[in-house]
Amino acid sequence: MATGTSRERQSTFHDQWYLVENLAPALRPEVTVRRQTYWGAPWYILSEPDNNAHFRLAHGAYAFVCLLDGRRTVQEAWEACQENGDEGLTQGEVIALLGRLHAANLLLLDMPADTENLLRRRQERRLKKLGGTLSSFLFLRIPLWTPDAFFTRHQRIGGLLFRPAGFACWLLLMVLAARSLLLGWPQFALEARETLNPANLPWVYFVIILAKIAHECGHAFACKYFTARDGLTGDVHSMGVMLMLFAPVPYIDVSSSVQIRSKWRRAAIGLAGVYAELFLAFLAVLLWSVTAGGTSLHLLARNCVIITSVTTLLFNVNPLLRFDGYFVLSDLLGLPNLYQRSQAYVVYLFKRYVLGVDKAASVVHRRNEKVLYPVFATAAFLYRTLITVSIFLILEDNFASLGLLLSLGLFCVWFGFPAVKGLAYLAAGPELSGTREKAVLRFGALCAVLAVLLLGVPVESAVTVEGVVESRDRQLIFAEVEGTLASYAATDTRVARGKSVIVTIRNPGLVAECNRMALSVAVDRARLEYARERGDMDRAGMEALAYRASRRQLAILRAQVARQAIRSPVDGVWVAPELSRRDGEWIGKGDMLGSIYSPDKLRLRAVVDQFDAARLFAEPIVRAEFCVSGRMDVRGRDGGLFPATPEGPPTPAGRRELIHPSLSMRAGGDILTVEGQGGEEMAASRFFELRLLPAAGAASMLRPGGRVLVRLVFGERPMAMQWMRRARQFFTAR
C-alpha cells in the first residue's frame, strides 16, 4: 500500500475537515519504520508485525505522520506541513491517509462515531476502487494456515537453494536439462500434443498443485533467507488456496519482504517462485529422458515440464499480469503500485484533456512516468483481456452454458460497470462541480465523433484468406533408369530445354552391360563377314540376324546409358527439394525426381470458409491482392501487396479434401484437419476455392507449393458493421 503527494492537486480544503481537525492520533508504539529509495526519492515503510501490516509512505505523507505524537492535533500537524509548500498534503489527502492508517490498525486514536464513519467510508471506497472483487473473481484467495513456524524451523535447509553452491547446482541442472531436451525434442514435441487429452487431465491438475507448492515454498524460503541477511524476521503470516481460473492452487503471503532495503534482494524474493519451479522442471526433464514412455514417472515428468513452462511464461514472469514479474518490475523501476498508478494516470488524462476537468489530480511526479504509465496500462489491459477471453472461450468450448455466462459476466465487469460508473461520475461527480455542463458537452462530442467514424465513415471491407501457389504448366521428371543418385541441379534453378543437365544417375552395371554388348556386336559382325568370305550363304543369313539383334540391343543399352544424365525437356525452373535427402541413394526406375514449371504460368488457389464464401457469390470482388506468407520483405512495387486477378468464379460446392498439405495446421497453415475414413487428412469443415492469376511482376517471388495470404476487397462499409459481421461470424462458427 502506498501513499504519495502530487504536484497537481485538488482543492487544498475539504468540506468534512471539521470531523478530523481536533483529533490527536499517534502511531502505535510497536510500529517500525524503514527508509527506502525509489527513483532517488525517499519512501518510508511502516510495519506492524502482529498484524503483518505494511504501509509505504512518500516523504510528504511521512513528514505529516511524524508530527502525530498523540498531543498535537491533526489541524496543527497539517498547518505545520503547509510550510513545506508542494510537499504539504491537502485536507482531502490527510483524511484519506488517516483512513488507511486507521484501517491498517497502525494508529492510536479515540474519535467520535461520525469521524469513524467518515474514515471507514473513505477506506471502503478505496477498497472498492482497488479491489474490484467482481473484476478479480478469477483469482480469489482463501487463507487457511499461518506457516511461519514451519518455514522458520526449516529455514536452513530451504535457504541452501539460494546460496552460491545452490545456484551453481541450479545452473548445472539447467545445462543438463537443456541438452537432454534438445536431443529428445522430436519425441517430446510429439508427446506434448497429448497434454489436453481428457485422459491426461488428472496428471495436469496434479502437476499444477505440485508445481505451485514448490513455487510458493520458494518464495517463503527466499523471504526467510534474505530478510535474515538484512537483520529482519521475514514473517510468513498466511498460506492458503487461490481459485486461479476456477482451479484451487496454493498461495503464500511474503509481504514482509517489503521491509528489505535492497531492491535486488526484493526482486530475488519475487522471482524465487519461478526459480524453484524451474528447478523442478529441470529435474523433470532429466527424469523424462531416462524413463520409458507410457510409464507413470514418464507421464508425470512430461506434464511437469509443460505446465511449469507455460505458467512461467504466460503468468509468473509476465509483468502485464499482477504476478511475480509485475512486482519485480515495479520494485526494480522504483514505482510502487505500478498497475493502480498507471490506471489512475490514464483516468486523469481522460478527465483532464477529454472532459476538461482542471481540478483533476495527477499521480505523475516525473517526466518518464508520463510515457511509462499510459504504455503499461494499455499493454496490461490488452494482454489481460486476451488471456481472459482465451480462457473463457476454452471453457465455452467444453462447458457451453458456463462459458456463455462467464463471457456475459466479463463484458459487464470490464465494460458495463465502468460505463455505469463513468456516467455516474458525469452526473454527480464532485470534481465536476461548476464545469459539469462543459464536461458533458465534451464527452457527448467525443461520442458523436466516434459514432460518425464507426457508423458513418466507410472503409474498405476485405477478407484475408490463405492460399497456395500452383503451376498451370508443370512437367514432372521421372527416372528412366535405375542407379545411384550421383549429382543434381540445385532447386529453384532456371533450366534450358535440352541443354541443362538436372540429374545424373550412375549405374556401373548398366555401363558394363553396354560394353559387353558392344563386344558381342563386334563378334557377331566378324562371324558375318567370315561366313560371307567362305560363300556360306545359309550361315551368313543366320549371322546377319544375330548381328542385327545385337546391334538393336546395343542401341537400347547406349540410350539407357545416355539417359543417366537427365536433361531438361522444357524451359523453366527446376524444383526438387527432396533430392538433397537422397544424395547417394539408389533411385528406382520410374521414381519421381522433381518438376519443372514455367514462372510465367502460375496460379493461386485460395481457400475461403463457409461464412466468407457467401460474399463471394453475393458481392463482386473490387480488388484482389496477395503477399507471400512469412515473407515480410517481399513486397510489390510501391511497398504494398501484389495484385491478382480472379481466374473465374469460386467453386460452386464446398469441399473437405485439402488442396495442398501445406495449408493444414500441422504444416503451419490455418486449416484445422481431421482424419478421414480412409486415413487421409481432411479439413474439419467445408471450404470453397477461388483461383487467381498473380501479376506478372510477382512471378519471380512465387514457388509452387508455397503459401500466400490473399486479400479480397469487396468495397467499402462502416467499421461498426464490419465488426458486427465478424462477431456474428465468430459466434456462429463456435
Residue ranges of E strands in 541-665: 565-567, 572-575, 586-587, 592-597, 602-609, 623-628, 642-646, 655-657
Task: Inform me whether the pLDDT recorded for 682 exceeds 60.
Answer: yes
Kindly tell me if the per-residue pLDDT of 476 is higher than 50.
Answer: yes
Given this model, what pLDDT does residue 395 score? 61
SS (H, E, C) 612-638: HHHHHHHCCCCEEEEEECCCCCCCCCC
Q: Which of 332-346, 538-552, 660-674 has the lowest mean pLDDT?
A: 660-674
User: Could you read off the pLDDT of 152-200 as tens digits, one per residue?
Assistant: 888 888 888 899 999 999 999 999 999 999 988 888 887 887 777 778 8
Confidence of residue 732 (pLDDT cuts 50, 70, 90): low
pLDDT for 121 beyond 70:
no
Q: How confident is the model at residue 135, as a pLDDT?
A: 46
- Collapsing DSSP states into helix, strand and coil, what is residue 193? coil
Alpha helices in 399-435 (DSSP H): 400-411, 417-428
Q: What's the pTM value of the predicted model, to 2 decimals? A: 0.64
DSSP 479-535: -SS-EEEEEEPPTTEEE-TTT-EEEEEE-HHHHHHHHHHHHHHHHHHHHHHHHHHHT
For 512-522, how does the pLDDT look when each residue is reduced to its tens digit (9 = 90+)?
Answer: 988 998 999 89
Domain positions in the chain: 2-131, 139-334, 350-456, 474-597, 602-733
Out of 7-11, 168-172, 328-332, 590-594, give the one with best mean pLDDT: 168-172
Residue 448 has pLDDT above 90, yes or no: yes
> Which residue is it, cell 500441422?
666
Describe the crossing of helices 537-562 and 508-534 by its angle, rounded to 10 degrees.
160
Q: What is the DSSP string of 150-174?
A: HHHHTHHHHHGGGSHHHHHHHHHHH
Write 515-524 long-range contacts (CB < 8 A, 24+).
517/550, 517/553, 517/554, 517/557, 518/554, 520/550, 520/554, 521/547, 521/550, 521/551, 521/554, 524/550
Burial of 696 (0-12, 13-18, 19+ CB in 10 A): exposed
pLDDT for res 552: 92
Beta-strand relationship, 602-609 and 642-646: unpaired
pLDDT digit string (tens) for 560-618?
A: 888 888 888 888 888 887 787 888 888 888 888 888 888 788 889 899 888 788 788 88
The answer to whether 503 and 528 have CB atoms below 8 angstroms apart is no
Give dist(CA 611, CA 615) in Å, integer.
8
What pLDDT, on the 0 to 100 scale, is given for residue 398?
57
Q: 406 falls in which pLDDT band (50, 70, 90)?
A: low
Is the pLDDT reported for residue 114 higher than 60?
no
Using DSSP, state whether 34 is helix, strand or coil: strand
pLDDT band, residue 94 (cuts 50/70/90): confident
Rounded-to-integer distance, Cα 464 and Cα 724, Å:
17
Query: Average pLDDT, stretch 690-716?
Result: 84
Mean pLDDT, residues 326-348: 85
Whose CA is closest to 256, among 275, 230, 281, 277?
230
Is the predicted pLDDT of residue 128 greater than 60, yes or no? no
Between strands 238-244 and 247-253, the pairing is antiparallel
- Per-residue pLDDT band at 498 (split at 50, 70, 90): confident
Q: Across the chain, what does the average pLDDT equal?
A: 81
Euclidean distance between CA atoms 4 and 705, whole angstroms:
62
Q: How many CB atoms lie within 10 A of CB 146?
A: 15
| Mean per-residue pLDDT, 622-636 | 71
**Among the four given CATH numbers 3.40.109.10, 2.130.10.10, 3.40.50.10800, 3.90.930.60, the one describing domain 2-131:** 3.90.930.60
Residue 627 is predicted with a pLDDT of 85
Q: How far is CA 600 from CA 696, 697, 699, in A?
A: 7, 9, 6
The predicted-structure confidence for 270-304, as pLDDT tens digits, reads as follows 999 999 999 999 999 999 999 988 888 999 999 99
